[in-house]
């Protein structure tokens, strides 16, 4: 598993710096709307935090292993009793938790696949839920709160209130519950009907798709406005 970290000159000198964790998960590459939105948001964050550092993780290109019977039980066994496979799984979880802990803000690109989140995002969340690292074993309190989690979501169809498929977006329904265990609360910015441009049967929805994307871009551009003013 690999990440890229862009480090500013001030960070390299050991000075205090803001830190952004930027995560993509789409498998669509340059065609991805969620990737376009996370890239835009990262640019807005960098403009508001001169000298900030960015850690980038691409779950679509470099997916995390799902929890399995070999290493998955590492979260239920004391580290001193880990098997080799559990030790490897636990080490990865520590790496992922540390990425979140270092970040002041997190950007997560979240496309909707078959009405749910990509399995790679589910694997990321599963790795983050680790008693002793991200959850207090005694109180069950999440230990990773106090940072922004901005979710840039893209949905090929329309699932808004009043539409025939209202409520079919199970990604947005699931993530707040899954991530709440570690103390994070996501804030969603969503572009809908992203398949209208490439699906002939959805051609009539192109104006609505463009309107939805434009609204999402405006919301992204308004992120961290107060931080920029303070800087």
Phi, psi at 116, each rounded to 5°: -140, 180
By CB atoms closer than 10 A (0-12, 13-18, 19+), residue 2 is: exposed
Mean pLDDT of 151-174: 94
Q: Which residue has the higher pLDDT, 151 or 4?
A: 151
* Span 80-95, pLDDT tens digits: 999 999 999 999 999 9
Q: How confident is the model at residue 5 (pLDDT cuts 50, 70, 90)?
A: low
* Span 39-83, pLDDT tens digits: 999 999 999 999 999 999 999 999 999 999 999 999 999 999 999
Phi, psi at 193, each rounded to 5°: 60, 35
How many Cβ atoms sit within 10 Å of the Cβ of residue 231? 13
Q: Which two tokens mark 220?
A: 């992204």
Predicted pLDDT of residue 12: 40
| Domain ranges within the chain, ordered by starting residue | 4-230
Q: Which two tokens mark 68?
A: 């399995």
* Span 121-149, pLDDT tens digits: 999 999 999 999 999 999 999 999 999 99
Least confident of 10-14, 89-93, 152-156: 10-14
Predicted pLDDT of residue 226: 75
Residue 44 and residue 34: Cα distance in Å, rounded? Answer: 15
Q: Which CATH class is domain 4-230?
A: alpha beta
* Span 185-223, pLDDT tens digits: 999 999 999 999 999 999 999 999 999 999 999 999 999
183 sits in the region (left: phi over 0; alpha: psi -120 to 50; else beta) called: left
Q: Which two tokens mark 167?
A: 């409520």
Predicted pLDDT of residue 160: 84
Are 160 and 192 in contact, with CB atoms under 8 Å apart? yes
């Amino acid at each position: 598993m690999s990440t890229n970290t862009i480090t500013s000159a001030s960070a390299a000198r050991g000075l205090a710096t803001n830190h952004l964790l930027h995560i993509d998960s789409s498998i669509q590459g340059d065609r991805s709307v969620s990737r376009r939105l996370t890239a835009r948001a990262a640019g807005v964050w960098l403009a508001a935090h001169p000298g900030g550092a960015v850690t980038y993780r691409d779950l679509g290109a470099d997916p995390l292993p799902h929890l399995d019977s070999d290493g998955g039980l590492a979260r239920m066994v004391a580290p001193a009793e880990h098997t080799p496979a559990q030790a490897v799984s636990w080490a990865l979880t520590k790496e992922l938790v540390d990425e979140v802990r270092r970040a002041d803000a997190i950007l997560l690109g979240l496309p909707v696949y078959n009405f749910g989140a990509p399995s790679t995002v589910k694997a990321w969340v599963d790795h983050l839920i680790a008693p002793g690292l991200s959850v207090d074993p005694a109180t069950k309190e999440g230990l990773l709160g106090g940072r922004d989690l901005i979710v840039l979501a893209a949905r090929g169809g329309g699932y808004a209130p009043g539409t025939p498929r209202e409520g079919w977006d199970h990604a947005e329904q699931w993530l707040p519950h899954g991530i709440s265990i570690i103390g994070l609360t996501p804030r969603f910015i969503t572009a809908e009907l992203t398949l209208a441009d490439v699906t002939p049967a959805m051609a009539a929805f192109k104006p609505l798709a463009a309107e939805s994307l434009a609204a999402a871009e405006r919301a992204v551009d308004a992120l961290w406005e107060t931080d920029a003013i303070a800087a």
